[in-house]
A and B are shown apart, each in its own frame.
Chain A
Amino acid sequence: MSTIGNAFAPVRDAFDSIGDAFHRMNQWQKYSFYAIVIIALYLAPFWTDIPVIGPIVDTPGTQFSTVLNDQVIIFVLVALGLNVVVGLAGLLDLGYVGFYAVGAYVTAILTSAHGNLPWLLSLPIAVVVSMLFGVILGAPTLRLRGDYLAIVTLGFGEIIRLTAKNMDWLGASRGISNIKKPPSIFGLKFGVIDPKPYYYLGLTLVLIVVFVLHRIEYSRVGRAWVAIREDEDAAELMGVHTFKFKLWAFTIGAAVGGLAGVHYAGKVGFINPDNFPLQLSILFLAAVVLGGSGNMYGAILGGVLVAYVPERLRNFADKRVFVFGVVLVLMMVFRPEGILPKRVGDEHKKRQRSSQNEEVAQ
């Protein structure tokens, strides 16, 4: 009977052994692996055309490539950014949707409501403005500890949304329409019907963000973040300027969240405050923790799952949010560190072996 209870075990072991196999690869094998994965990802809109796999992955009700861009890419970007704040630096941010909204609104303002800039030019400006908001929120609040920070950030997310909703200059509840599209490039036309170009653009943004964040994570900055997460007082006594690095975590997280907003605004062309509810912040956080807080690839996986699975399960449409809630609880009970937790050090193979022995012994 215990085989049913260990239903999660094969899944867990499968992920662990994929991880092991990856860690055993040499440099050259790793690069080829990356290349294959990246090519496969760029071809993702065509996965539905593959026999057998196609019907499995296809989403009922919505075009698969629309889901890929509008849901998956956005969630992956956001999860990457939030992972820096929550996963690496250990700062509980419940208002991350605020930065996403700032990015989207800056693009909307500059390209439509109060300006005529091209989308591409609005991108860096929006990212910088988002970072600025990161500093504005972070500077006064980062002295607060854990759960106080959580409620303050939650409030921040709501303040952003309600300000947008109540200020005519920001379009009030009507929102802002006619947001400019990204420029056509390499024969890709960013129109209304075909979501594929947006997906390619979004995927490119994701890859750039992964590259940049990877570099930061494996540097003095990334080490300082993890040290702060593990023991803030000890980190400070080891010479880490904790406030400065926490602010950096906020700012970088905000930049990525803002970038996601810019991409979103460019795709949909029309935004209003209802696109940025508080609940979205909570979904973002769920994505990060579900995937594996502190591990960039875990956060990506979490983003994909949280965005994609509800779309795939449309056939019980009205119950999918309920299912999502229950799955979150079950996941936290049976694998609280997330699906793909960060591997620390090189002894995990030994550990895995010993835990298997433990199970045999039982």
Chain B
Amino acid sequence: MPDWLIIRTFWDLTVTGLALGSIYALVALGYTLVYGVLRLINFAHSEIFMVGTFGSLLASSQFLNIPLLEDGNYPYRAGMTLIFFLVVILIIAMVFSGISAVLLERVAYRPLRGNGDSIGAVALAFLTAFIVSLIFIDDTQVNVIISLVLTAPIAYSYLRIFKRGRKAPRLAFLISAIGASTAIAEAVGVWGTHGRDQYQTARILEKKTVFNLFGTDVRIDYVIVIVGALLMMTALTLFVNKTRLGRGVRAVAQDAETSRILGVNVDMIIIVTFALGGVMAGGAAMLFTLVYDQTRFNIGFILGVKSFTAAVLGGIGNLKGALLGGLVLGLVENYGSAIFGGQWKDVIAFTVLLVVLMFRPTGLLGESLGKARV
């Protein structure tokens, strides 16, 4: 292989690695925030990302009415229209992910903290009625009608059970998260219009080369991903460090019990934490569809595992760690697959994690959301 090719490949790999790493980092923030505050692996966070990609999809196809192809060409937009469309898609993806993250917390985690409320009770009641009715009649519309009728009485009694307020063991949270993750992905796989098949998203951004880096053409979408991710992360860091709610997040991360005694509304802070993680995942989802133009019901799983790896690699609970871990993982994967072959990509990622943890058992930067070195 001639030298110039290696160099060129190197920069090429660096750019794509950084772009992929930025997406990992954004998703990793969600794991890290929730872990920092609740000491919980939010296993279902991957599905929050997935919901975000479907948010982007709906935004472009339904709200903005962009077709997949216009006269056989991509529906490229330019100038202010493009920016407006991208921002709309971004906001809708964030709203989708943010709301689903908050709902997830209410339904799958909060009742386990011995603290369930009416929203969780209603959702769980509906789901209970739904799956029970499914055993007798397999017709979604009928199931939904039956479930809606039964929701109120079941929810009423669930609330009474919640009042007894028992905190579940740690493992239970993880299993609940796994259950929620499975249910969300499967719900999209079963009831989505394309079922388990792939969905294309409209490509409104023409993927032109914007500049040349050491002989490598750098495409506009990669630039947007990297810059966009950095902007979102900066915004998050400012929020956590400079606002009252952000201080609350740090306080709860450091010591939930003391914060509660000092008058911090811990439940509120937990909702904020999930919402922040969700919004970041939504941003990641929008950037993901921008680069790959597609999504699927199970798209979250592997990406979630990788992002969680990134969070641990950087030091879970540490916002800077999520960024560093994401970028390192993206780069390592890219360089590694260039050297050993693409099929070894995940092996390389996990091996690097293993080696790093052996020397630094709490990740590259250590855990420290509470210690405010964010």
| A and B directly contacting (CB within 8 A) | yes
A residues near B, CB below 8 A? 1-6, 86, 92, 140-141, 143-145, 147-148, 150-152, 154-156, 158-159, 162-163, 165-166, 278-279, 282, 285-286, 289-290, 293, 313, 315-316, 318-319, 321-334, 336-337, 362
Closest 4 CB pairs of A and B: A5-B157, A328-B179, A155-B350, A325-B183
Please name the residue on chain A nearest to B111 by beta carbon: A333
Distance (whole angstroms) from the CB of A221 to the closest CB of chain B: 21
Complexed CA–CA distance, A326 and B185 (Å)? 11
Flag B9-24 by CB within 8 Å of A: 1 or 0 each. 0000000000000000
In the complex the two chains form, what is the Cα distance from A75 to B160 in whole Å?
35
Give the distance to chain B from A5, nearest Cβ to Cβ, in Å. 2
Supply 10 further A-B pairs (C-beta < 8 A) apart from A143-B361, A328-B175, A329-B108. Answer: A148-B363, A151-B353, A154-B305, A278-B301, A286-B179, A326-B179, A330-B124, A333-B111, A333-B112, A337-B168
Q: How far is the CB of B44 from chain A (nearest CB, A)?
A: 10
Residues of A within 8 A of B181 (CB): 325
Instruction: Decide: B174 and A92 in contact? CB cutoff 8 A.
Output: yes
* Min CB–CB distance B308 → chain A (angstroms): 6
A279 vs B363: C-alpha distance in the bound complex, in angstroms?
25
- A293 contacts B186, CB within 8 Å? no
The answer to whether B154 and A5 touch across the interface, beta carbons within 8 angstroms, is yes
Contact between B347 and A330 (Cβ–Cβ < 8 Å)? no
Task: Please pick, from B190, B341, B347, B357, the residue contacting A163 in the complex, using a CB distance under 8 A.
Answer: B347
Does B158 sit within 8 A of A, measured CB to CB? yes
CB distance from A250 to the nearest CB of B (A): 15
CA distance A143 to B308 in the complex (A): 20
Given contacts A152-B353, A322-B183, A330-B128, contact A336 B169 (CB under 8 A): yes
Interface residues on B, range: 35 or more
Sampled A-B contacts (17; CB under 8 Å):
A4-B153, A5-B156, A6-B157, A6-B161, A143-B361, A155-B353, A158-B350, A162-B344, A324-B182, A325-B186, A328-B179, A332-B108, A332-B175, A333-B108, A336-B169, A336-B172, A362-B160
Q: Indicate if B180 sits at the interface (CB-CB under 8 A).
A: yes
Task: Name the residue on A nearest B185 (C-beta).
Answer: A325
Q: Given A152-B354, A154-B305, A162-B347, does the pair A332, B179 have CB atoms closer than 8 Å?
A: yes
Complex: chain B residue closest to A87, CB-CB: B171
Residues of B within 8 A of A163 (CB): 347
The verdict on A162 contacting B343 (CB below 8 Å), with A2-B157, A4-B154, A325-B181 known, is yes
**Looking at A4, A5, A6, A332, which has the most chain B CB atoms within 10 Å of its CB?**
A332
Instruction: Tell me the interface secondary structure of chain A in the complex.
Output: helix
Q: Would you give the shortest CB distance from B310 to chain A, in whole angstroms? A: 10
Set of chain B residues within 8 Å of A321, measured between Cβ atoms: 182, 186
Closest CB in chain A relative to B80 CB, distance in Å: 43
CA distance A48 to B39 in the complex (A): 47
Task: Contact check, A92 vs B171: say whether CB atoms are below 8 A apart.
Answer: yes
Binding site for A on B (CB under 8 A): 35, 39, 41, 107-108, 111-112, 116, 124, 127-128, 130-131, 134-135, 138, 153-154, 156-158, 160-161, 166, 168-169, 171-176, 178-184, 186-187, 189-190, 301, 305, 308-309, 312, 316, 341, 343-344, 346-347, 349-351, 353-354, 357-358, 361-363
Query: Of the candidates B107, B157, B189, B312, which one forms a contact with A148 in the assembled complex, judged by CB atoms under 8 Å apart?
Result: B312
Interface centre among B175, B189, B190, B351 (most CB of A within 10 A): B175
- B124, B154, B186, B349: which contacts A322 (Cβ < 8 A)? B186
A147 to B312 CA separation, bound complex (whole angstroms) = 9
Given contacts A147-B41, A152-B354, A322-B187, contact A329 B171 (CB under 8 A): no
Beta-carbon contact of A151 and B178 below 8 Å? no
| Cα A316 to Cα B140 with chains together (Å) | 11
Cβ–Cβ contact A323 & B134, under 8 A: yes
* CB–CB B350/A332 < 8 A: no
Please give the distance in Å from B330's CB to the nearest CB on chain A. 16
Beta-carbon nearest neighbor of B340 in chain A:
A166
A331 to chain B, nearest CB (A): 8
For chain B, what secondary structure do more than half of its interface residues adopt (helix, strand, loop), or is it mixed? Answer: helix
Which B residues touch A150, using CB under 8 A? 41
B residues in contact with A319, CB < 8 Å: 134, 138, 186, 190
Query: In the complex, which residues of chain A have a beta carbon less than 8 angstroms from the beta carbon of B361?
Result: 143-145, 148
Cβ 8 A contact of B131, one of A156, A279, A323: A323
Q: Is the CB of A2 within 8 A of B134?
A: no
A140→B351 CA distance, assembly (Å): 12
Give Cα A6–Cα B169 distance, bound, in whole angstroms. 21
User: CA of A318 to CA of B195 in the docked complex: distance in angstroms?
Assistant: 10
Q: Is the CB of B161 within 8 A of A332?
A: no
Tell me how far the C-beta of A4 lies from the nearest C-beta in chain B, rounded to whole angstroms.
Answer: 5
Q: Is A2 a contact of B160 with CB atoms below 8 Å?
A: yes
Say yes or no: B179 contacts A325, CB within 8 Å. yes
Whole-angstrom distance between the Cβ of B187 and the nearest chain A Cβ: 6
| Cross-chain contact of A332 among B127, B172, B301, B308 (Cβ < 8 A) | B172
Instruction: Judge whether B305 and A278 touch: CB under 8 Å.
Output: yes
Tell me the minimal C-beta distance from B332 to chain A in angstroms: 13
Query: Pick the contact of B343 from A152, A159, A165 — CB < 8 Å?
Result: A165
B347 with A151: CB separation less than 8 A: no
Which of A6, A140, A147 counts the most B-chain CB atoms under 10 A from its CB?
A147
CB distance from A145 to the nearest CB of B (A): 7
Which A residues are in CB contact (< 8 Å) with B127?
326, 329-330
Give every chain B residue within 8 A of A336 (Cβ-Cβ): 112, 166, 168-169, 172
Report the bound CA distance from A166 to B189 in whole Å. 29
Query: From A282, which residue of chain B is reached at the shortest CB distance?
Result: B178
Contact B312–A151 (Cβ < 8 Å): yes
A148 to B39 Cα, complex, angstroms: 12
Cα distance, A165 to B343, chains bound together (Å): 9
Question: Shortest Cβ distance from A233 into chain B, in angstroms?
Answer: 15
Given the interface pairs A143-B361, A322-B187, the reply to whether A332 lies near B176 with Cβ below 8 Å is yes
Residues of B within 8 A of A279 (CB): 301
Q: For B343, list chain A residues within 8 Å (CB).
A: 162, 165-166
- The reply to whether B131 and A147 form a contact with Cβ atoms under 8 Å apart is no
In the bound complex, residues from chain B placing their C-beta under 8 Å from that of A328 are: 175-176, 178-180, 182-183
Interfacial chain B residues near A6, Cβ < 8 Å: 157, 161
* CB closest residue in chain A, given B298: A279
Please give, as numbers and ranges, the residues of chain B lying within 8 Å of A282 by CB-CB distance. 178
Of A290, A315, A337, the residue contacting B138 (CB under 8 A) is A315
Cα A286 to Cα B178 with chains together (Å): 8
